[in-house]
Structure 1
Amino acid sequence: MSLCCWLILVAFVPMTSGTNPGVKVKLTEKGLEYGRQLGMASIQKKLKTIKVPDISGTQKVSPIGKVEYKLSNMQIVNVGLPKSAVALVPGTGVRLSIGNAYISLHGNWRVKYLRIIKDSGSFDLNVNGLTISTSIAIKSDETGRPAVSSVNCAATVGSASIKFHGGASWLYNLFKSFIDKALRNALQKQICPLVADAVSDMNPHLKTLNVVAQVDKYAEIEYSMVSSPTVSKTSIDLGLKGEFYNIGKHQEPPFSPVAFSLPPQINNMLYIGMSAFCADTAAFVYNTAGALSLYITDDMIPQSSPIRLNTRTFGTFIPQIAKRFPGLMMKLLVKTVKTPIITFEPNNATVQATATVTAYAIQPNTTLTPLFVLNSDASVSAKLFVSGMRLAGAVTLNKMDLTLNTTYVGEFQVRSLDNVLQMVLKVVVIPRLNVQLSKGYPLPTIGKMKLVNTQLQVLKDYMLIGTDVQFTG
């Protein structure tokens, strides 16, 4: 991994500009500093692979005359990058600079002079005062994923010292300045291409970016960018689409994202703001897919409960049911009739759902006879939390209001069923919903990315995740 891991956060495929994002991401200077630490290890490893070609030539050395020389089998022994920095360039991108670097190498030499005299030995070269500066460009590839490259790279070798071992090394001392220059030039030509390689080596990792992340059999979420990233002095800010879709069918919802802004933050490496729009598109997708409906039968009710789904229990509240359908089991169908609405207020996330509750009597031949249909307006509170690389949640019932929609057994007091149906919601519907919510929804990620020191706040119209990040493997 290298510094470029962080550039996934600014390299999603650009979408239509002018659209408000459903998700916002802020990469802070603390996050960029962590990326620098990763990047130095990668670049140092890459520079150790420098291949210096053999160097040969002739030089006139007084009083001997023409001397033929060759330097061969040159290998990098050590690379040091003691000083480096990354900086945000407002409106542009990221600038990486390395100073006071050094490279040590070892090789062999041989000479021929006076036409017949040959000599050989080894040498050590130390290059000091090496400086490297490069910018990192981000674009999208043909698959709609990010690709990074090094641009405007410059490398300068400050000074070099060479020491020869064996043979008539005094010869080299007479013209080593010429060899020093040749070696410095050879090294200098290698450095920027290798830095570029270190950056390009991140592209296979960037291809793991979940621009479209599958949630389950019903839904996927898209994390493409809606506009170019904004680079300031303290952070890189970007807007992602953050929209749920039915798998294989990208139908836009009948509502649009509302603009929101992340407050200035510096404590964590990364901040992710997910708006109510993002959550509302999830509700739209599941409602469209017909996933927000549930048949409830008596075997779902805890055995310890005195209330059973049969005509005897319901006949206590609606006598005509027990008279007309004695001794039958019942089934309830709870089904949303419109997309639930999610609201974010400070420290409070609520879901407002409108549904129908249809009661059936199960005949001996298993056919269903409708008894009544109720309208239900329910409000639940949601607790949100981060689990691994997913956003998860759990809900509890706040209140439920029932009204009569249709009756097939004559008029009755709907209020008499409040306690029964609230119990059904609390012990059957909500636990099943929480099982699904606990599985969570994928956050934008790349490779083996891990969130640490994560905190979640619910604010006005969005939730804010503040986190540090680790890359492993």
Structure 2
Amino acid sequence: MAVATILLLLSSVFISSQAHLQLLADPNESFTSILISQQGLDFVKNLLISKAILSMIPLKLPRIEESAKFPFLGNVHMVLSNITIYKIDVLSSYVKPGDHGITIVASGATCNLSMNWHYSYSSWLLPLEISDKGSASVQVDGMQVGLTIGLENHGGTLMLSLMDCGCYVTDISIKLDGGASWLYQGMIDAFEGQIASAVENAVAKKLKEGILRLDSFLQALPKEIPVDDNASLNVTFIDNPLLSNSSIGFHISGLFTRRKNVPVTKRYHQSFHPSVFCKDQSKMLGISLDEAVFNSAAALYYDAAFMQWIVDKVPDQSLLNTAGWRFIIPQLYKKYPNDDMNLNVSLSSPPVIRISERNIGATVYADVIIDVVEAGQVIPVACISLVIRGLASVKIIENNLAGSVKLDDLAMSLKWSQIGNLRMYLIQPVMWTITQTVVLPYANAHLGKGFPLPIIHGFTLHNAEIVCSSSMVTICSDVTYSESKNLSSALTRFE
């Protein structure tokens, strides 16, 4: 069943195109918008029709029998068996979303059938039965297949409902082979209506079976996408899909959650539901992520205590010995001459992400405790508070949204000291260097891996573009498809 799978793709994510479409949603629950454009729908429709044809053929039809009794002449019995559709071609098709559902129509389709025929005649006038048999080929032209599917949110997942379905045959021709086929051609032609009806019923039945299977598959899709061992992306659908005459829109939660269901403190900014905006209206896909998505990730990893580490190796290792600080903090070197040091770096609050048309800004509040290691004992001697401001950039790596950050500004203040007052203007270049050479590479190593966008396995973003606007990041992209075992199984199994 081809068309039904359109909804499978829709459930996962994709595709945008209109210049501006505001998707209405609860601002407290939805932070990611998805828009599927007509171009995207057409791409999926073409893919699904080819998959549907492969899944349908060979399609066996019921046996057809007819008997007739003629007064004074006898009985005639005709049987058509092994009726099989072995080829289907679709000349044109379209998909159209609307107020009452998603309509998919394939018109001008043709299909080829093969079958066996058997003829028998018996009469009281003749002591023997006369019979003949052979094969036949059938050409069906002008076939039109259409269905309308309802799509709604059901407990955070998408539910399909078949609102209308039909298959209509306008022309059929039969050619007999074998036996005295020329003698029976006229009688076989009388079966055209029954063959056409059998084709219509069989195709419609397969479509209905496909919708039921696809509905079950959609409702079984997970509501979270694992990011790593600690975090998942919440892809629960919020409200019903929004259908216009040329697109389908979705809104999902989109926030990061703990994989062990430990609640995350909501320190991120709550905002209105983002709109999908793509300059290139030919793109298939548009996904808008509110800055709250990024801030939820920051809050999650902060609450999970992943934003604390000990720095005991730096490119300039002399900076981790008190001798390297003798001109910067003389009293430190005097009290602990030639002792090794480490820096205990921890964030005092979650990083804050702000997105504008000009850039993506990240503000990090960190405490750096200077430790002296003396005779195996770690001695905290001072704590410096840092306010690190960085400029972030994002990029697409396959189906992941990855990023990096560079240092823009660094402010610092003394939080406490066991070695007296410190001259902060002397310490600032050191902290700048450590931030550049240690902190940011550490952060970028993790940011470079990215996090997955909500896309079903088998589909890949292609020629993606990223647009930043007030408080959101939008990915505008085409998609490509490669065979996926799970997806193909969902599309092609109808038994």
Would you say same fold, with TM above 0.5? yes
Instruction: Output the CA distance in 1 between the equivalents of 2:111 and 2:351.
Output: 63
Please give the per-residue CA displacement for 1:336-380, whole angstroms capped at 9, x wherever unaligned: 11111101011411101111111111111x221111111111101
Matches within 5 A, 1:359-370: 359-364=370-375, 366-370=376-380
Instruction: Output the CA distance in 2 between the equivalents of 1:63 and 1:126.
Output: 37
Change (3 A) 1:331 1:282: same
Q: Does 1:241 align with 2:249?
A: no
- Alignment match, 1:290: 305
- Alignment match, 2:140: 127
Of residues 228-237 and 26-35 in structure 1, the stretch that sits farther from structure 2 once superposed is 228-237
Which one of the candidate residues 101, 105, 110 is aligned to 1:102?
A: 110
Instruction: Output the CA distance in 2 between the equivalents of 1:398 and 1:389.
Output: 29
- Give 1:453 shift: 0.7
- Alignment match, 1:81: 90
SS at match of 1:281: helix
- Alignment match, 1:276: 291
Of residues 63-72 and 415-424 in structure 1, the stretch that sits farther from structure 2 once superposed is 63-72
Q: Does 1:391 align with 2:401?
A: yes
Contact 1:60 1:66 in 2 (8 A): yes
Q: Does 1:180 align with 2:180?
A: no
Equivalent AA in structure 2 for residue 257 of structure 1: Q
SS at match of 2:345: strand
Equivalent AA in structure 2 for residue 301 of structure 1: V
- Give 1:46 shift: 3.3
Instruction: Output the CA distance in 1 between the equivalents of 2:455 and 2:5.
Output: 10
Change (3 A) 1:440 1:472: same
Contact 1:210 1:444 in 2 (8 A): no
Matches within 5 A, 1:90-239: 91-115=99-123, 116-138=129-151, 146=158, 148=160, 150-200=162-212, 202=214, 206=218, 209=221, 211-239=223-251
Instruction: Output the CA distance in 2 between the equivalents of 1:368 and 1:129.
Output: 84
Gaps of 5+ in 2: 14-24, 124-128, 484-495
Equivalent AA in structure 2 for residue 262 of structure 1: V
- Give 1:118 shift: 1.5
- Alignment match, 1:321: 332
Gaps of 5+ in 1: none
Instruction: Output the CA distance in 1 between the equivalents of 2:223 and 2:250.
Output: 14
SS at match of 1:316: coil
Q: Does 1:346 align with 2:360?
A: no
Change (3 A) 1:436 1:275: same
- Give 1:10 shift: 4.3
TM-score (norm 2): 0.87
Identical pairs, percent: 23
Which one of the candidate residues 44, 50, 72 is aligned to 2:81?
A: 72
Please give the per-residue CA displacement for 1:197-240, whole angstroms capped at 9, x wherever unaligned: 44455568757855312222332211111221111122111111
Change (3 A) 1:205 1:440: farther
Instruction: Output the CA distance in 2 between the equivalents of 1:427 and 1:47.
Output: 60
SS at match of 1:439: coil
- Give 1:172 shift: 3.1
Instruction: Output the CA distance in 1 between the equivalents of 2:3 and 2:404.
Output: 36
Instruction: Output the CA distance in 2 between the equivalents of 1:147 and 1:420.
Output: 58
Contact 2:225 2:452 in 1 (8 A): yes
- Alignment match, 1:261: 275
Provide the aligned length of Structure 1 versus Structure 2: 464
Contact 1:338 1:355 in 2 (8 A): yes
- Give 1:196 shift: 2.8
Q: Does 1:7 align with 2:19?
A: no
Instruction: Output the CA distance in 2 between the equivalents of 1:402 and 1:40.
Output: 62
Instruction: Output the CA distance in 2 between the equivalents of 1:3 and 1:168.
Output: 43
Contact 2:153 2:237 in 1 (8 A): no
- Alignment match, 2:488: none
- Alignment match, 2:412: 402
Change (3 A) 1:228 1:379: same
Q: Does 1:52 align with 2:56?
A: no
SS at match of 1:425: helix
Contact 1:357 1:374 in 2 (8 A): yes
Instruction: Output the CA distance in 2 between the equivalents of 1:442 and 1:271.
Output: 15
- Give 1:44 shift: 1.8
CA-based RMSD: 2.5
SS at match of 2:191: helix
SS at match of 1:114: strand
SS at match of 2:45: helix
Instruction: Output the CA distance in 2 between the equivalents of 1:174 and 1:7.
Output: 45
TM-score (norm 1): 0.91
- Alignment match, 2:322: 311
Please give the per-residue CA displacement for 1:392-418, whole angstroms capped at 9, x wherever unaligned: 111111111111110101112222100
Instruction: Output the CA distance in 2 between the equivalents of 1:111 and 1:18.
Output: 71
